[in-house]
Amino acid sequence: MDTIKTYLENMFMQLPRTPEVLKAKEELLSMMEDKYNELKAEGKTENEAVGIVISEFGNLEELAAELGINAYVTGNRGQNRQAFGGNDDRYDQDRESGREYNSEGFYVTMDAATEFMEEQRKFGIRIGLGVLMCICSPILLIIFGGIGDDDINNLLSWISSGPLLTVGLGFLFLLIAAAVGIFIFSGLRMNKYECLKTEKFYLDFQTESYVREQQEEFKASFTVCLVLGVVLCILSVVPVCVVALVLPDASMSILVCVAALLLLVGVGVWLIIYAGVRNTGYKVLLQEDEYDYKKKEKSRLIEAVSSVYWPVITCIYLGYSFITGRWGSSWMIWVVAGVLYGAVEGILGGTGSRRRR
């Protein structure tokens, strides 16, 4: 019964606390209690009874006319189509973002959550496609390099003087330019959702249940995409190895297999990126794992330090390399920097935890 009461509170959360709304809330609670007790008397389990009650009385829009609050529900529906919440006087509103805050953060509506999941799905497709294009960009250059050459070692000389140089390089730069455009466009499209990854928010019961349902439905697809992507990346080297062993002097065949390797790796990486990005969307909305609201303060601190740390390391690397000329050994700076960064990240995480306590 506590679950039903919590669900009812979430249903009326965005409605004004007028006498009509409060009366309707009491009436609906009474109806839900009567139905719940009736189902329990019939021998239904707790979960079965709660599920049936919510399915029959869980849609406020269908019950609004009967309860006499149709005007409030209809008006609130329009307000809820803002970015992340409606317009309720119970909360202090951030005028710039249009979001509302209480002790649990800002409220994310069903419409906003659904919109974010769809945008995240498209984001995964676009980013995966961009990476695929970058990986496959040198394919024509590689294949054309074998035309008329009996020796694979002649590739470099062909690149400097071959008749198909313009076509191969043009294809390479065209794909890379298109991929960069996709990355920029996709990043700009997702900018407005950045607050979901960095700030504290909450979902109502119905929205959270829907997101979890979508997450469960995607689990099988996530596993398939991940496994298939890894398998493609591993098997991509097989054609090259086989041809190199069977036809060691057939440079053109080897180059075609190298091109096929890039294509298979690109498709595999696309599947992995798509699955990972889409799965991350569910974690963001449910505030799971690294997106748990308790970890967001830590993430912001680490991000701020990283924005300074890595540029400084880059300056040290370039300065040391140019001054000493030891380019062959200066790469060790990155190894040391990586180890130190892990230590810094751990210290910052511990500091954040103590601060919260």
The DSSP symbol for 84 reads S
pLDDT of residue 175: 92
What are the domain boundaries of the chain?
2-79, 82-289, 292-357
What pLDDT score was predicted for residue 60? Answer: 73
Rg (CA), the chain: 29
Q: What is the pLDDT of residue 131?
A: 92
Cα 106 to chain centroid distance, Å, stands at 20
Neighbours of 37 (CB within 10 A): 12
- Give me the pLDDT at residue 290, please: 78
Residues 6+ positions from 47 with CB-CB distance below 8 Å: none
pLDDT the model gives residue 291: 81
What is residue 228's predicted lDDT score, i.e. its pLDDT?
96
pTM listed for this prediction? 0.59
Task: Note whether 98 and 82 are within 8 A (CB).
Answer: yes
| pLDDT tens sequence for the chain (357 residues) | 677 777 777 777 767 666 777 788 888 888 888 888 888 888 888 877 877 887 777 677 777 777 777 766 665 544 443 445 443 333 334 433 444 444 457 788 888 899 999 999 999 999 999 999 998 888 888 777 666 544 444 555 555 555 667 787 888 899 999 999 999 999 999 988 988 888 888 887 778 888 999 999 999 999 999 999 999 999 988 888 888 788 766 677 778 888 888 899 999 999 999 999 999 999 999 888 878 776 666 666 677 777 788 888 888 988 888 788 777 677 788 888 888 887 877 776 655 444 444
Residue 331 pLDDT:
75
State residue 297's pLDDT score.
63
274-298 b/e with 16+ CB inside 10 Å = b? bbbbbbbbbebbbbeeebeeebbeb
Q: Give dist(CA 132, CA 271) in Å, integer.
A: 10
